[in-house]
Each structure stands twice: as structure tokens, then as C-alpha cells.
Amino acid sequence: MRINILKFLSRWSLRFHALWSQGHVGFFGLAKESSWGTAVAASDYAELMSENLTTTVDRFATRNIFSGYYEPDDYAGARRTAGGIVLAGFPAPLGHLLKAAFNSISQSVVLSGYLWTNNYSSVKSEFADGVPRQPYTLEVFRDVTSSHRYAGALLNKLTLALAPNQDLRVSAEWIAKARTLLSKSTPTFPGSPVDPFTFDTASIQLAGAASSRFEAFTLSVDNQLEGILALNNSNEIARIRATNPQMIRISGTLDFADVAEQEDFINQTERAMKLNLTRAQSFNLLIDVPRFVYTAHAANMSGRGRVTATFEGMARYLTSSLTAIGIGLTTTKSNY
């Protein structure tokens, strides 16, 4: 009798635990929209480290003087959807995020039928009126029967970060128009290559010369987007606008071996900067900043240990190349 009870409790426990949502069972998918806010089925998938896409509801009060000691009822207002994803820099999914950040793209053939280089550069125009960047539909499955679908999602900020003993860590922050539920799709993750870009194949050049002094590197592309509400019989945002031009910032850590870089900051010397990463089968990521200038450079002694310098800088527009940054991504995917 006791054994039967234990078996029952064990089975009940397993069934109860199976009801818990677990992140490792979830997935993330996305697809380009041809019209902002018109949802489409996910066409590509990416393996994430984390995600925090969330819908919030604004609230507003209508009574202050109401002859009572209790809190009066308020009203639900606008629904806003925003949040981010974090993933390792796998070559194929990275192309979608670069497309979402920059809009513009051109392509060249590296190996016919197998390898293509997709080239991205500074934003030159908006996707459409009231839609500054290429819109996407995002699907997030959180192991709760249905997927969450976020339509009209625009990439607000993209961050690429490198540090020793780490992959190229990618963060993408989104603003979306609408959230709905749908039956989950079946994800198929990119199969070639199966590895991300990593720190041990990264190289950096300043003014055409290789440098081994960089110990950490972060590139951020800030589109400075804002969801706009309107009196249009809806509690969802009516459009997304860019509040300022696209900002491209670079920061990191340098070995403080001499004062040369600090003097370049003091003198505001501009140099070209390049970051190159490679992967098996000729997969490649090349970031080219034709005019890089330091905006901050600090080398302070926190104690008896080795002195390093933290820096911040910006990418400036180069008229002759019509861009502030150029990014080339070589993969087996021919179309983003």
C-alpha cells in the first residue's frame, strides 16, 4: 500500500512539474513585414540567451475629490510593447538584426551558390512614412501552449560586445505595435555554421595598423525611436518616429601601455577603425568605421594592480563614402 502511494505521489509530482514553464523549451522567431503592423509567420529562428519583451498598460485617474478614504477606480490607457533579446553572434541570425538596424543593404557574391556578403551602412532613408526602420513580426514561445506574437516591431538599439572568453554578444532592443497570441510554430535553427563569432578570431585595426591593446569592445547603434499615440480609436501606438539621428558609439577597455591613445583623445585625432571576426567556412563579420574619434579616455589607478584605460568614442559621417559605418556579413544566406 505504501509503495502504491509513493508511486502515485511520484507520478503526480512529475505531472505537476511538467506544467511549469521552462526557458530552455522556448524559442524566438522573426520575419520581415511588408507593411508595418501586418503580422506574418516567422521565417527564421535564433537561439537566445534571454528575452524580456513585455507589454505594459498606462493608467490614468479621473477623480481626486470624491468624498472617500479609499483609492478610486482608474482607467487603463495605452498599451506599449517593448523589450530586448540577447544572443550569441551566430552569423545567420545576425544578418536580420543588422537589416533591422540599418534598413539599407547591398549584396556581393563570394562563392556562387554558397557564400554571399551582405553589406550594411548608415541609414539613408526611412522604410516608409511613420516607419523609420524595416518592420518585423516577432514570435516568442515561452513554454505555455501558445506563442506571443509582436507585430510592427522596429529595432531601437543594437549592441555588439566582445570580451575575452566570450562569444560576440548581441543585444537587440525592440519597440512593437501590437501583441497577440497564436499557436506556436515549429522552429528550425540555422545549421551552418553551428558556432557563433568568438573573441579568439577578432582583430582590430586603428589607422590601418593592427592593435593588440584592446581588451574589450562594444559597438552600439541607437536609432532613438519612440512610439507615438494618436486619436485614432485605438490604444496602440499609431506610428514610430525617430526622435534624433542614428547614433553610433564605440566603447571598451585598452591596455594602458603608453599615453599615445590618451593624447589622441586630447587632440581629438580622427582615425579609421576596423573590427574583423572570422568563422569556419569563410564566414566573416567586418565592421568598418572610417572616422572614429575618442569622446572620453580615462586611465586611473584603482590600486596596486595593472592600469587599464576605459574609452568612449563615436563614428562620424564620411562624405566620400556616404556613411558613418560599413558592416559586411558573409554567410550562406543570400537574402535578408
Cell of 65: 475629490
Say what the pLDDT of residue 187 is: 95
**Could you give the CA distance from residue 155 to residue 223 in angstroms, rounded to a whole number?**
8
Say what the pLDDT of residue 11 is: 52
Say what the pLDDT of residue 16 is: 47
Degrees to nearest 5, angle at CA 43 with 188 and 197: 60
Among 100, 273, 249, 45, which Cα is nearest to 161's? 249
Check: CB of residue 171 under 8 Å from CB of residue 161: yes
Neighbours of 20 (CB within 10 A): 8
Among 66, 57, 62, 58, which Cα is nearest to 74's? 62
Say what the pLDDT of residue 19 is: 61
Say what the pLDDT of residue 20 is: 80
Check: CB of residue 301 under 8 Å from CB of residue 307: yes
Residue written as cell 510554430?
185
C-alpha dihedral (9, 14, 20, 25), degrees to nearest 10? 180
Say what the pLDDT of residue 4 is: 59
Number of residues that this document lists for the chain: 336
Say what the pLDDT of residue 3 is: 53
Which residue type, as a one-letter code, is found at position 57?
V
Degrees to nearest 5, angle at CA 117 with 116 and 122: 150
Among 21, 327, 30, which Cα is nearest to 190's? 30
Check: CB of residue 138 under 8 Å from CB of residue 84: no
C-alpha dihedral (13, 15, 20, 26), degrees to nearest 10? 140
**Could you give the CA distance from residue 38 to residue 41 in angstroms, rounded to a whole number?**
10
C-alpha dihedral (113, 119, 125, 131), degrees to nearest 10? 70
Output 206-211 pairs: Cβ under 8 A, ≥24 positions apart. 206/271, 206/272, 206/273, 206/292, 207/271, 207/272, 208/272
Say what the pLDDT of residue 2 is: 54
Chunked into runs of 10 residues, the chain (336 residues) has average pLDDT values of 52 52 94 96 96 96 94 95 97 95 89 90 89 97 95 98 97 97 94 86 95 96 97 95 96 93 94 93 92 95 92 95 94 86
Rg of the chain, C-alpha, whole Å:
24
**Could you give the CA distance from residue 41 to residue 139 in angstroms, rounded to a whole number?**
8
Say what the pLDDT of residue 14 is: 43
Say what the pLDDT of residue 5 is: 57
Q: Where are the domains of the chain?
A: 87-134+157-172+191-331
Strands 75-88 and 169-176, bridge-based pairing: antiparallel
